[in-house]
Chain A
Amino acid sequence: MPGAINIGQLSCPRPISKSDRVLLGHGSGGTMSADLIRNTFLQEWDNPVLAALEDQATLDLSGWIRSNSHLIPRLAFTTDSFVVQPLFFPGGDIGTLAVHGTVNDLAVGGAIPQFLSAAFILEEGLLIEDLRRIVASMRTACKDAGVTLVTGDTKVVNRGKGDQVFITTSGIGWIPEGRSLSIHNARPGDQVLISGTIGDHGVTIMSQREGIEFETVLESDSAPLNALTEAMLKACPKIRCMRDPTRGGVSSTLNELADASGVGVKLWESRLPIRREVRGACEMLGLDPLYVANEGKLVAVVPADAAEGLLQVMRSNRLGKNAVAIGEIVSDHPGIVVLKSMIGGERVVTMLAGEQLPRIC
């Protein structure tokens, strides 16, 4: 006959309420989830919509509509997921990317970003301190961009089933009357402008990942572009389209544009703004800066007669101070991007097939 159970020896597997790491219980929806939300997210985003902790954000549009002559505005809505290693890098972290990426997707469409949501997928074992750092930099990024984070979600997955943190942000912005930017709008004769140096973000991440060091500190260009796009659109409402060349780099953006507008793009290699360190790292690793990701740059296609004036406007903004014209839209070779090399030859710049891979020798 089994012995009597000693009640005093039993212990309840209650989760530790105070832990310096993310535990599965933080995703349970119970008190630990509530604590995490209160102590981590609400600490940074102190606004009445989010603090209401409803299942949805209820947004009052009346003020905006009144100030815009009672017109019902058009809305821009976007969503994007962010996965990056390392989580922290010179010039930003996964949190700033998550805010800037969504803000920029709205801004390059001519929208004025207003509200953001953020969904966090956390891996069991993540340091709470790291999460706090990410959330704090997200708050600063939201403030810089003038957006309000109004709703969110948190899930915790088992250790080994995630990569520390994944963040999905969605954003809503208003599009003022009369704006119509689209990658279908490019016309032969238009100029292609870029707001600054290319490849900074991708090479920063890769050099951090692979332990490559430079003489000077190379930083990600992660930044919110909405102030720049507003200044540009106010100065030149005729802008045909704007895109932020993130994953896939400038080449992917221009190939998509050439394809959608049924035009050719001609680039001048000698005008591509590329930092010395980025060029060096790309040469060493066998990468092409045209394919490397950016997080704070935009490509704009504008009528030729507006290009010079717009460049002046861009250069007067901190994020556009290195703006240059890098190419033109042509009617030859529709759908294809061609680069005029420094020594006078021409080559096609294709979309990237898969990831860029470091070469053998």
Chain B
Amino acid sequence: MRFQDEYRDPVAAKQLITAISRVVTRPWTIMEVCGGQTHTIVKYGIDELLPNGVELVHGPGCPVCVTPLELIDKAIAIATRSDVIFCSFGDMLRVPGSQSDLFAIKATGADVRIVYSPLDCLKIAEQNPHRVVVFFAVGFETTAPANAMAVAQAKKRKLSNFAVLVSHVLVPPAMSAILSSLDNRVQGFLGAGHVCAVMGLEEYVPIAERFQIPIVVTGFEPLDLLEGIYECVCMLERRQVGVGNQYSRAVRRDGSPRAIELIHQVFEVCDRKWRGIGEIPLSGYRLTEPYQQFDAETRFNVQQVTVHESEQCISGLILQGIRKPHQCQAFCKSCTPEHPLGATMVSSEGACAAYYNYGRLRHPVAAGSEI
């Protein structure tokens, strides 16, 4: 853990905060893309330590938050079947669907299991040949290689009782969508380090140039974020456009070519709906033709589900950096982790959960709301 502690050093943190204060000459709005970064920022109080001019807004980079309601409802419909063992990462289980959530149906008898790796599902499938093991393949480019590996392995092992419910989304199209919005306030980005560790930096260059902004790929420890913010503010002050890499200890310019190759073997780009935001063209993955047999949506014929989204929840605006959690009328009132209206209050990476859990003292809630 010594390595990690170095990235939490209080003296170095103070020096970086001082350095940021020295270079800022006017207000800037920077968006951190990833929910993991949002949590570090609020958990360590980085937002309150920054000089007044530097505002951080929170991006759409929480895979749990942006998984569309339809897919949650489809997951629930599949998991309810007696011939299915439904496997998922832990934090998807509490996300509310239209009527229920995966935890609730588990309590009524559905076989829903938490796994730490999609490859664990293959073992479960081999141990349960008479049931279908379905994995909820959620996430950004970060989880795509492991999920692709599971599907490729299933095909190699001729596992006919394994399927994936695919809900992969891609970061660069979402960044472009945010920057194209008429309401956009974002002037610079902190890029998501884990995503870039897989995909590299090249995809970000055209975005930086098209929208004339700086993008600094950043890690997840407090000093990573402070360095990333410092670099981004310096670029903004110098009117510098381009892609910086604070997270060079994990991110190479070309990413991980083997992982990219595996992703492209199993997945192809498609249009994808984002919860709270809507459809973003070419922003997701679906299975390529040779792997169609593993598509749970087709296998269980759950193409049509009727969804009902909360009318109070403004998570879509929060995910685009237009509003902050404490500016929502439902925050801490009708929407809490015990009774979430939207996924941003549920996920361990959700901005609303971060504000609720860590930031309630320093962010006064909207009028009409109460803690």
Kindly identify which residue among A279, A347, A350 contacts B44, using a CB–CB cutoff of 8 Å. A347
A-B CB pair tally, cutoff 8 Å: 102
- Cβ–Cβ contact B361 & A357, under 8 A: no
- Cβ–Cβ contact B140 & A344, under 8 A: no
**CB-defined contacts of B36 to chain A, threshold 8 Å:** 361
- Cβ–Cβ contact A343 & B45, under 8 A: yes
**CB-defined contacts of B356 to chain A, threshold 8 Å:** 350
Give B24-55 interface residues, CB cut-off 8 Å to A.
36, 42-49
- Whether A338 is near chain B, meaning CB under 8 Å from some CB there, is yes
Which partner residue on chain A sits nearest B16 by CB separation? A343
- Cβ–Cβ contact B358 & A286, under 8 A: no
- Cβ–Cβ contact A343 & B8, under 8 A: yes
Give A334-360 interface residues, CB cut-off 8 Å to B.
336, 338, 341-348, 350, 353-354, 357-360
**CB-defined contacts of A361 to chain B, threshold 8 Å:** 36, 63, 139-140, 142-143, 194
- Whether A18 is near chain B, meaning CB under 8 Å from some CB there, is no
Given A358-B116, A359-B89, A359-B91, A347 and B42 contact (CB-CB distance below 8 Å): yes
In angstroms, Cα B140 to Cα A280, docked, is: 24
- Whether B281 is near chain A, meaning CB under 8 Å from some CB there, is no
- Cβ–Cβ contact B89 & A360, under 8 A: yes
Given A210-B116, A354-B94, A360-B63, A346 and B362 contact (CB-CB distance below 8 Å): yes
A258 CB → nearest B CB, Å = 13
- Cβ–Cβ contact A360 & B91, under 8 A: yes
- Cβ–Cβ contact B143 & A359, under 8 A: no
Among A338, A358, A360, the one with the most B-chain Cβ atoms within 10 Å of its Cβ is: A360
In angstroms, Cα B359 to Cα A285, docked, is: 22
- Cβ–Cβ contact B8 & A276, under 8 A: no
Bitwise, A278-321 to B at CB < 8 A (1) or not (0) is 01100101100000000000000000000000000000000000
Bitwise, B86-100 to A at CB < 8 A (1) or not (0) is 000111111000000
**CB-defined contacts of B48 to chain A, threshold 8 Å:** 345-346
Interface size class on chain B is 35 or more
In angstroms, Cα B140 to Cα A210, docked, is: 24
Kindly identify which residue among B10, B13, B91, B143 contacts A357, using a CB–CB cutoff of 8 Å. B91
Which partner residue on chain A sits nearest B46 by CB separation? A345
In angstroms, Cα B96 to Cα A354, docked, is: 14
**CB-defined contacts of A350 to chain B, threshold 8 Å:** 356-357, 360
Kindly identify which residue among A285, A286, A347, A360 contacts B45, using a CB–CB cutoff of 8 Å. A347
**CB-defined contacts of B42 to chain A, threshold 8 Å:** 347
In angstroms, Cα B143 to Cα A358, docked, is: 14
At the interface, is chain A mostly helix, strand, loop or mixed? loop
- Whether B64 is near chain A, meaning CB under 8 Å from some CB there, is yes
Give A237-295 interface residues, CB cut-off 8 Å to B.
270, 276, 279-280, 283, 285-286
Which partner residue on chain B sits nearest A346 by CB separation? B45
- Cβ–Cβ contact A345 & B45, under 8 A: yes
Give B43-80 interface residues, CB cut-off 8 Å to A.
43-49, 63-64
**CB-defined contacts of A342 to chain B, threshold 8 Å:** 8, 10, 44, 222
Which partner residue on chain A sits nearest B13 by CB separation? A343
A281 CB → nearest B CB, Å = 11
- Cβ–Cβ contact A344 & B4, under 8 A: no
- Cβ–Cβ contact B94 & A343, under 8 A: no
Give B82-140 interface residues, CB cut-off 8 Å to A.
89-94, 103, 114, 116, 138-140
- Whether B227 is near chain A, meaning CB under 8 Å from some CB there, is no
- Whether A333 is near chain B, meaning CB under 8 Å from some CB there, is yes
Kindly identify which residue among B43, B194, B337 contacts A347, using a CB–CB cutoff of 8 Å. B43
**CB-defined contacts of B64 to chain A, threshold 8 Å:** 360
- Whether B349 is near chain A, meaning CB under 8 Å from some CB there, is yes
In angstroms, Cα B194 to Cα A197, docked, is: 31
- Whether B336 is near chain A, meaning CB under 8 Å from some CB there, is yes
**CB-defined contacts of B142 to chain A, threshold 8 Å:** 361
- Whether B239 is near chain A, meaning CB under 8 Å from some CB there, is no
Which partner residue on chain A sits nearest B45 by CB separation? A345
- Cβ–Cβ contact B90 & A358, under 8 A: yes
In angstroms, Cα B116 to Cα A270, docked, is: 29
B339 CB → nearest A CB, Å = 9
Among A279, A354, A361, the one with the most B-chain Cβ atoms within 10 Å of its Cβ is: A361
- Cβ–Cβ contact A359 & B90, under 8 A: yes
- Cβ–Cβ contact A348 & B348, under 8 A: no
B209 CB → nearest A CB, Å = 28
Kindly identify which residue among B1, B89, B336, B362 contacts A358, using a CB–CB cutoff of 8 Å. B89
Bitwise, B136-157 to A at CB < 8 A (1) or not (0) is 0011101100000000000000
**CB-defined contacts of B89 to chain A, threshold 8 Å:** 358-360
**CB-defined contacts of B143 to chain A, threshold 8 Å:** 360-361
- Cβ–Cβ contact B13 & A344, under 8 A: yes
In angstroms, Cα B362 to Cα A333, docked, is: 11
Which partner residue on chain B sits nearest A283 by CB separation? B4
In angstroms, Cα B201 to Cα A159, docked, is: 56
Bitwise, B332-371 to A at CB < 8 A (1) or not (0) is 0000111000000000110000001111111000000000
A128 CB → nearest B CB, Å = 27
B316 CB → nearest A CB, Å = 20
Among A336, A338, A346, the one with the most B-chain Cβ atoms within 10 Å of its Cβ is: A346
11 more contacts with CB within 8 A, not counting A343-B222, A347-B357, A348-B358, are A343-B8, A344-B10, A345-B44, A345-B45, A348-B360, A354-B338, A357-B90, A357-B91, A360-B139, A360-B349, A361-B139
* 7 nearest A-B pairs in the assembled complex, by CB-CB distance: A345-B45, A357-B90, A347-B358, A353-B337, A343-B13, A358-B90, A341-B44
Q: Report which B residues bind A (CB closer than 8 A).
A: 1, 4, 8-10, 13-14, 36, 42-49, 63-64, 89-94, 103, 114, 116, 138-140, 142-143, 194, 222, 336-338, 348-349, 356-362
What are 14 A-B contacts defined by CB distance under 8 Å? A279-B4, A341-B45, A342-B8, A343-B45, A343-B46, A343-B222, A344-B14, A346-B45, A347-B42, A347-B44, A348-B358, A357-B93, A358-B114, A359-B91
